[in-house]
């Protein structure tokens, strides 16, 4: 197997995955094919909709078509020349409790039909099971994963080693660590379907990241059943390179119409919010009049257009370094998704560690949800670990952020500099830092470094963001030593949070704190300040 990463953003990768039937680009969505009742031909899925690979179910093929698929070969049977992945029947175990086959038969059958990417017959972990039963699914899946290497006879198929454990994260970690020691080319997170059906995307985040943290980072990760485009960006951002969807067809049977932000019922739509070829020339009322099979086919095609369009948006967002913004925008389409994004704060150190350090674009900061962004986490850590203040400076001047960036080019800063520097001789030149959202403390000499000047912040700030900046200010003051701290107090944007935290910290550190009220027009204020040299401490 060859998996080459071309672009990265967060944990997402645009990569090239080589199979014996061709090389495909990730992140990759496999439309699920059911040969017994497939509304759209495989040729059309490739030629019209641009999907590079398909997935089908080896257990269903074996039960329904037997040796016909082996004799023809899977590609000829499905009339598709590109890479094909086969699932093993584990989902049927989840639904029906058992399947009439065994691990050896499924491995042998997938080799016989000449699939490109194959999956062992694992034991899925249901949402409902107790922990001791979940432990059994992990152990049995691992047993089968080890035995597989005595069964397989071909080396040109990419095999998937599934991770089980369900909502029990310690079991997911255990499963991933042990599966990582086995030589599988691809891994997959098993049993996520019930989690997604319950809209427990917060649990899904923890399952995916627990698996990622315990697997080799260079192996592709597949997410089974991630069928709706409104959560694609979340899955990709968490490091899922591959995923499959039967939703385009299942939803169509139920007259459900996909959009990138949710699903609508056809009979409730007045207009189609889409300009794909299937929607541009008709309307919901006309489509409702079509015979059921024709209506189902039209909706399935529309759903595929929506899925592919969202994938392309995500790939462009990765190239532009704007996947976080795209993911955050999609998260506001449903409270459960936004709740999931907030869960990323728990894993921010891991995400930062594996995210690119530089990118070609700045960032947009909307609210405290963005505090888990790698750029913010990385800056805070590096400031604490690597930055040393000017040794000669005995006085720190804390200046609030300005609308202009870099801050030292703002009119307000120049006014403060002209006024304040008159009170100091050259030997006692003060050190200037800005306090700004979302980064916290920004020393003057770092003001133009990426991304400190390459971001836009939404004002007014929310409470959590103000508290985050205040925490960064406290941390900086505790790990530096100045005789005097002069705080330019901006009550308009920061209420009294920064003022109060500076008072308390300087009292404990025995710093001399001086405060000056910040105004957009500073002339009059600084005449008073300079005339009395220092205002009384607040």
CATH of the domain at 445: 3.40.50.10630
Task: Return the pLDDT at 359.
Answer: 80
338-345 contacts: CB < 8 A, separation 24 or more?
338/369, 339/201, 339/202, 340/201, 340/202, 340/204, 340/205, 340/234, 341/234, 341/369, 342/202, 342/369, 343/202, 343/205, 343/206, 344/205, 344/372, 345/371, 345/372
Q: Are 401 and 440 in a shared domain? A: yes
Q: Is residue 9 part of a domain?
A: yes
Q: Are 275 and 154 in a shared domain? A: yes
Q: Is residue 538 part of a domain?
A: no
CATH number, domain containing residue 315: 3.20.20.105
Question: Comparing C-alpha atoms, which of 42, 2, 41 is closest to residue 22?
Answer: 2
Task: Return the pLDDT at 532.
Answer: 40
Q: Are 123 and 172 in a shared domain? A: yes
Last residue of a domain, one of 321, 353, 385: 353
Q: Are 290 and 222 in a shared domain? A: yes
Which residues does 305 contact at the CB level (< 8 Å), separation at least 6?
49, 274, 276, 277, 278
pLDDT, one tens digit per residue, over 299-323 is 999 999 999 999 999 999 999 999 9
pLDDT, one tens digit per residue, over 64-90 is 898 999 999 999 999 999 999 999 877
Question: Comparing C-alpha atoms, which of 48, 128, 60 is closest to residue 88?
Answer: 60
Per-residue pLDDT band at 536 (split at 50, 70, 90): very low
Place of tokens 């992990």: 138
Q: Are 371 and 344 in a shared domain? A: no
Q: What percentage of the chain exceeds 90 in pLDDT?
A: 73
Q: Are 267 and 379 in a shared domain? A: no
pLDDT (mean) for 122-143: 93
Q: Are 337 and 451 in a shared domain? A: no
Last residue of a domain, one of 353, 377, 403: 353
Q: Are 29 and 175 in a shared domain? A: yes
Residue pair 350/343 in contact (Cβ under 8 Å)? The answer is no
pLDDT (mean) for 419-438: 82
pLDDT (mean) for 26-37: 92
* CA-based R_g, the chain, Å: 29
Task: Return the pLDDT at 524.
Answer: 46
Examine the pLDDT at 290 and tell me if it is beyond 60. yes
- Give the C-alpha separation, 181 to 187, whole Å: 12
Q: Is 483 a catalytic residue?
A: no
Q: What percentage of the chain exceeds 70 in pLDDT?
A: 94
Residue pair 473/501 in contact (Cβ under 8 Å)? The answer is yes
pLDDT, one tens digit per residue, over 327-354 is 999 999 999 999 999 999 999 999 999 9
Domain hosting 97: range is 2-353
Phi, psi torsion values for 51, nearest 5 degrees: -80, 130
Q: Is residue 358 part of a domain?
A: no
489 or 523, which is more confident: 489
Q: Are 346 and 378 in a shared domain? A: no
**Helix (H) / strand (E) containing 7:** strand 2-9
Q: Is residue 200 part of a domain?
A: yes
| Catalytic residue from among 87, 241, 255, 490 | 87
Count how many residues are written for the chain. 538
Q: Is residue 437 part of a domain?
A: yes
Question: Comparing C-alpha atoms, which of 202, 489, 480 is closest to residue 341?
Answer: 202
Q: Are 225 and 143 in a shared domain? A: yes
Q: Is residue 95 part of a domain?
A: yes
Q: Is residue 90 part of a domain?
A: yes
Q: Are 420 and 519 in a shared domain? A: yes
Domain count, the chain: 2
Q: Is residue 537 part of a domain?
A: no
**Helix (H) / strand (E) containing 5:** strand 2-9
Task: Return the pLDDT at 534.
Answer: 42
Q: Are 296 and 384 in a shared domain? A: no
Last residue of a domain, one of 318, 353, 388: 353
Task: Return the pLDDT at 520.
Answer: 53
**Helix (H) / strand (E) containing 489:** strand 484-489
- Most confident by average pLDDT, 99-103, 224-228, 268-272: 268-272
């Amino acid at each position: 197997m060859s998996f080459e990463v071309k672009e990265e953003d967060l944990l997402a990768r645009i990569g090239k995955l080589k199979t014996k039937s061709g090389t495909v680009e990730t992140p990759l969505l496999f439309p699920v094919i059911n040969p017994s009742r497939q509304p759209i031909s495989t040729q059309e899925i490739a030629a019209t909709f641009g999907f590079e690979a398909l997935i089908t179910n080896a257990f269903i093929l074996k039960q329904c078509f037997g040796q016909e698929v082996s004799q023809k070969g899977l590609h000829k049977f499905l009339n598709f020349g590109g890479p094909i992945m086969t699932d093993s029947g584990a989902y049927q175990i989840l639904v029906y409790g058992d399947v009439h086959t065994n691990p050896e038969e499924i491995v042998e059958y997938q080799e016989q039909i000449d699939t490109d990417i194959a999956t062992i017959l694992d034991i899925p972990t249901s949402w409902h099971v107790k922990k001791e039963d979940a432990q059994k699914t992990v152990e049995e899946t691992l047993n089968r994963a080890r035995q597989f290497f005595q069964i397989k006879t071909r080396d040109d198929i990419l095999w998937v080693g599934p991770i089980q454990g369900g909502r029990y994260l310690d079991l997911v970690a255990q499963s991933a660590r042990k599966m990582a020691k086995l030589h599988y080319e691809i891994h997959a997170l098993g049993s996520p379907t019930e989690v997604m059906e319950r809209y427990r995307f917060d649990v899904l985040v923890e399952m995916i990241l627990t698996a990622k943290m315990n697997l080799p980072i260079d192996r592709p990760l597949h997410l089974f059943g991630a069928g709706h485009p409104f959560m694609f960006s979340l899955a990709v951002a968490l490091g899922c390179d591959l995923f499959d969807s039967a939703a385009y067809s299942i939803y169509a049977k139920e007259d459900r119409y996909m959009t990138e932000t949710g699903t609508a019922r056809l009979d409730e739509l007045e207009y189609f919010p889409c300009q794909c070829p299937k929607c541009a020339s008709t309307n919901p009322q006309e489509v409702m009049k079509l015979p059921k099979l024709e209506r189902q086919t039209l909706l399935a095609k529309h759903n595929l257009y929506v899925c592919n369009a969202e994938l392309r948006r995500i790939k462009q967002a990765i190239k532009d370094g704007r996947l976080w913004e795209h993911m955050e925008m999609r998260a506001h389409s449903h409270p459960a998704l936004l709740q999931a994004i907030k869960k990323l704060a728990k894993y921010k150190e891991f995400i930062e560690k594996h995210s690119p350090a530089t990118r070609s674009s700045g960032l947009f900061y909307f609210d405290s949800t963005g505090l888990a962004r790698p750029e913010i986490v990385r800056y805070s850590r590096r400031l604490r670990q690597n930055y040393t203040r000017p040794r000669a400076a005995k006085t720190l001047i804390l200046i609030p952020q300005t609308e202009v960036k870099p801050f030292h080019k703002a009119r307000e800063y120049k006014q403060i500099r002209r006024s304040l520097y008159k009170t100091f001789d050259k030997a006692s030149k003060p050190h200037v830092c800005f306090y700004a959202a979302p980064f916290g403390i920004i020393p003057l000499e770092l003001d133009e470094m990426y991304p400190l000047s390459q971001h836009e912040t939404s004002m007014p700030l929310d409470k959590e963001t103000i508290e985050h900046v205040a925490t960064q200010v406290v941390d900086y003051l505790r790990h530096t030593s100045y005789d005097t701290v002069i705080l330019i107090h901006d009550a308009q944007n920061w209420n009294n949070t920064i003022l109060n935290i500076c008072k308390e910290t300087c009292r404990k550190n025995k710093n001399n704190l001086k405060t000056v009220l910040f105004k957009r027009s500073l002339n009059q204020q600084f005449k008073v300040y300079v005339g009395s040299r220092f205002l009384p401490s607040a």
